[in-house]
């Protein structure tokens, strides 16, 4: 196998995308820890989009607060299961599915690293969140790059399933339509032939 073929297979497997997104997630969290300490708030778009450091001991968007150990185990199991399925079904997955799985896996392991190791490294528990949206009196739960990967990946997967199911249904309906048209055409031709035969018989009767 040539090097070109190996590189092509590696690229289209999109395993590398997992590492890129996990690295981006951890890099942005590291920057947040360094530059957003002491309750510092950075306004990107007024009060609508701000950066502020928060520790989340729950799941994405602050769900299930205070369940760090459970969520760490859940993240590890879910991530391992997705990787196992990704490897098992590698020949059946199309390009879009490979990309989506890579994004979801990256999001899972990005937050797993925080839950499993950050307390050992920084002495503080909790996933590092730092992106915040506020509209008037309403504030969206603070999140991070891993949360974005998980959310967008799941939404994209649901949309993809819907589109693929719709395409499959359309393909199943096409033969029925064609078959119906053929039957209708055959019936029409038979009706015309019967009409011609009847007209010929009537002419013969009149001649007699």
Per-residue pLDDT tens for 162-197?
998 888 888 877 655 555 554 554 445 555 455 555
pLDDT of 82 > 60? The answer is yes
Domain extent listing, the chain? 3-169
Arithmetic mean of pLDDT over the chain: 81
Confidence of residue 151 (pLDDT cuts 50, 70, 90): very high
The answer to whether residues 61 and 141 touch, using CB atoms and an 8 Å cutoff, is yes
CA R_g for the chain: 30
Q: Yes or no: say if 146 and 131 are a contact pair by the CB < 8 Å rule.
A: no
Mean pLDDT of 39-65: 81
Q: Is 25 assigned a catalytic role?
A: no
Contact between 132 and 51 under an 8 Å Cβ cutoff? The reply is yes
Token pair belonging to 2: 């040539």
Of 38, 47, 114, 129, catalytic: 129
Average pLDDT over residues 11-26: 93
Residues 6+ apart with CB under 8 A from 29: 114, 128, 130, 144, 145
Share of the chain above pLDDT 90, in %: 37
**Higher pLDDT among residues 120 and 70, named by residue:** 70
Please tell me which residue, 29 or 185, carries the higher pLDDT value: 29
- Arithmetic mean of pLDDT, 5-24: 90
Higher pLDDT, residue 79 or 59: 79
CB 55 within 8 A of CB 115: no
Catalytic-labelled residue, pool 114, 147, 165, 181: 147
pLDDT for the residue 201: 54
For residue 9, indicate whether it is catalytic: no
């Amino acid at each position: 196998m040539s090097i070109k073929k190996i590189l092509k297979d590696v690229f289209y497997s999109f395993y590398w995308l997992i590492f890129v997104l996990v690295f981006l997630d951890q890099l942005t969290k590291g920057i947040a820890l360094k530059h957003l300490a002491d309750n510092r708030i950075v306004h990107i778009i007024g009060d609508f989009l701000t950066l502020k450091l928060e520790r989340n001991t729950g799941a994405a968007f602050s769900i299930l607060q205070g369940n760090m150990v459970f969520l760490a185990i859940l993240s590890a199991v879910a991530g391992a299961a997705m990787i196992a399925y990704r490897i098992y079904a590698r020949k059946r997955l199309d390009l879009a599915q490979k990309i989506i799985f890579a994004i979801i896996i990256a999001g899972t392991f990005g937050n797993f690293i925080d839950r499993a190791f950050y307390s050992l490294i920084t002495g503080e528990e909790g996933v590092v969140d730092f992106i915040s949206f506020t509209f008037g009196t309403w504030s969206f739960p603070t999140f991070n790059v891993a949360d974005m990967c998980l959310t967008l990946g799941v939404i994209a997967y649901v949309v993809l399933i819907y589109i693929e199911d719709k395409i499959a249904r359309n393909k199943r309906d096409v033969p029925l339509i064609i078959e119906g048209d053929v039957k209708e055409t055959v019936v029409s031709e038979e009706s015309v032939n019967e009409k011609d035969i009847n007209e010929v018989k009537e002419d013969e009767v009149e001649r007699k």
